[in-house]
Structure 1
Amino acid sequence: MASFQGINNNIETLIPPELLITQIMQLHASISKLETLRPCKQVNSLFTHLVKLCTLPSSIDIESLPQEVQDMRESLINLSGRAEGLLELEFSTFISLTPEPMKNVTLFPYYGNYVKLANMESKILTENGVVNPKKVAFVGSGPMPLTSIVMATHHMESTHFDNFDIDEKANEVARKIVASDVALEKRMKFETQDVMEVRERLGQYDCIFLAALVGMSREAKVKILGHIRKYMKEGGVLLVRSAKGARAFLYPIVEERDMVNFEVLTIFHPTNDVINSVVLLRKPKA
């Protein structure tokens, strides 16, 4: 999921970290008081404002923030994740009920950002020798599996995709959308499973994507990375979404020290309106 992908910033001047933190804390206070995180004018407005702030150029060092700001950041990532899930579910449910759902995925408000993110990730994969892999797994695909859809239709036209999510409701709507394209349906499956319970099967994939919101805390993320590494095939690649600077108020950061026993191929931090950083790892051959 990469839904709250931002809004273009033409301001190249850096926003002072103190000002940025003050404004983000004010937004966090307002978001915390909301009765619901479901899409509505107030929710959309607060999160749009938050995304604008977090994509402004800044020199903020997340590691050095005081504990109360760290706690607020953790809370904000959780709130953003929940709001993002509800936004995706609402739109995917609506799109799944239209006559030709696959033709209507472009109605999703952040569709353009998914396209940019997929273009970026496809370029990174190609540069590292991953071209039209046979089998790909996407972990944390959600109700609106746009990365898999965009990748399968524009970049990996013969690849088989297995999408894993712990929420059956999310998979149900995602299946409905993809079912409207017969050719794509043959190449795309949805599994309701926690990745920590998927073992030997992970060895089938040439490339595994790990969504930004799978493993919300550092400890959870490190555990998941270790589990995937243990079972994935030697020489296989793992594409992990991360965040840098102020964007880390929206998504968890994956640090290099968290990538134990992986070969780090690339770490890319976007400066445009795409929020997620991309970390490409390979499991070394024994």
Structure 2
Amino acid sequence: MSLLSSWLRFGSPTAKMDPCPCASHDSLAIVEKADVLHDQLLDSRAEKVQWLVQTIIETHSALLNLPHFRPGNAINQLLGNLVSVCSEIHDRDIVDKAEACLELHWAEHILASDTQDPEQVLARLHTFPYYENYEELTRLELCAILSATKTPPRRVAFIGSGPLPLTSLCLLQSLKVDTLARSLSPTADKTDLAEPVVLNIDYDESAIAASLSLCLALGERGRGMEFICAEATSPAKDLAEFDVVYMAALVGISQTEKEGIMLQVVNRMRPGALLVVRSSWGLRTCLYPEVDLATERLLARLEPCVVVHPYGQVVNSVIVARVKA
């Protein structure tokens, strides 16, 4: 599905994004509408989501207004409050909704300019606070993928892509670099290498509409991004055509839930294809759940190839496994 056909399928991206609690760029308006993300949120849970989003957005705005980031009373207080908020234990559903709201806010913020210039849209995308982290994580994951296959992937599916598909965009740009493909397949002619495609899959229609709008605005850089609104376990989308299938870190929470989703995903993939799963280790498990592939059910269907635990600023670990015949 091309960008154009994606647009035709979902209709006007702007229209789809109207229910988004981040449709306004005013942080208070975002907070006041946060409960729209989940119709069944209880009032108390909606209030927690609103408070989390308001705190994070206002802290970010305050940091941007500081003349410098040298240690001092102002920055120490801001960062201390932020660490305190992020260190609190909240229900996973609350955290997921707050994170989705923040991503939707940034997608809207990036598209807020009147300019239609893709370079200006890209420049605004680069202002996302964790953009460099996504670049580093994508490089790490791509290296892990390339260590497990003789040829670079050309068709990738990303389950749980969200409103701001930074991994998909970074991965797509890397796969478009001809020197990368030729260095790994020196005998392959350039014309033999099909244009890379990344299919973004998310159950949230607003997330799909937001990410589609962003990719359309990016012009050539968004070419190759495709979209479908579906559950991770939906049998409606056959995954056999994809060389690599990603599972985002928040697709499934517990080991049992993740294992069940992985098995349903693998059953729709072809033998030899790679499954990439984001995990965590050490204290990083406070932020993202850890995944264990060494279970009887998973080992019956998957051959673990690479496990990478990063240091530095990258939070997620990466697991690459090959689907067995």
Q: Which of the five TM-score ranges fits, normalised by the shorter chain?
A: 0.7 to 0.9
1:210 to 247, 251, 254: 247
Q: Paired residue for 2:141, among 121, 124, 149?
A: 121
Equivalent-residue separation in structure 2 for 1:46 and 1:156 (angstroms): 41
Residue matched to 1:92: 107
Which residue does the alignment assign to 1:268? 308
Output one character per residue of 1:213-247: Cα deviation in whole Å (capped at 9) or x when no partner.
01122222111101011110110000000111111
Distance 1:131 1:180, change over 3 A: farther
Asked if 2 retains the 8 angstrom alpha-carbon contact of 1:209 and 1:238, the reply is yes
2:168 corresponds to: 148
Q: Which has the larger radius of gyration?
A: 2
Give the aligned partner of residue 230 of structure 2: 193
Q: TM-score of the superposition, structure 1-length normalised?
A: 0.74
Q: Does 1:41 align with 2:49?
A: no
Q: Which has the higher contact order (CA 8 A, sep 6+)?
A: 1
Counterparts of 1:173 and 1:36 in 2: how far apart (Å)? 23
Sequence identity (%): 29
Q: Deviations over 1:4-48 (max 9, x none)?
A: xxxxxxxxxxxxxxxxxxxxxxxxxxxx96752214335985785
Q: Which residue of 1 aligns with 2:205?
A: 168
List runs of 5+ in structure 2 lacking aligned partners: 1-46, 61-77, 178-194
1:34–1:241 distance in 2 versus 1, CA, 3 Å: closer
Structure 1 contact 37–86 (Cα < 8 Å) conserved: no
**Secondary structure in structure 2 of the residue aligned to 1:208:** strand
Of stretches 230-239 and 216-225 in structure 1, the one that deviates more from structure 2 is 216-225
How many Å apart are 1:76 and its aligned residue? 5.6
Distance 1:119 1:156, change over 3 A: same
Deviation of residue 251 (structure 1)? 0.8
> Which amino acid in structure 2 is aligned with residue 194 of structure 1?
E
Under a length normalisation based on structure 2, what TM-score does the superposition of the two structures give?
A: 0.65
Deviation at 1:87, TM superposition (A): 1.5
Alignment partner for residue 294 of structure 2, among 247, 251, 257?
257
Q: Distance in 2 between matches of 1:161 and 1:142?
A: 14
SS of corresponding position for 1:82 = helix
> Contact between 1:135 and 1:207, CA under 8 Å: does it hold in 2?
yes
CA shift digits 1:187-216 (9 cap, x unpaired): 111111102113561111100011000112
Where does residue 19 of structure 1 map in the other structure?
A: none
- The equivalent of 2:98 in structure 1 is 83
Structure 1, unaligned runs of 5 or more: 1-31, 54-71
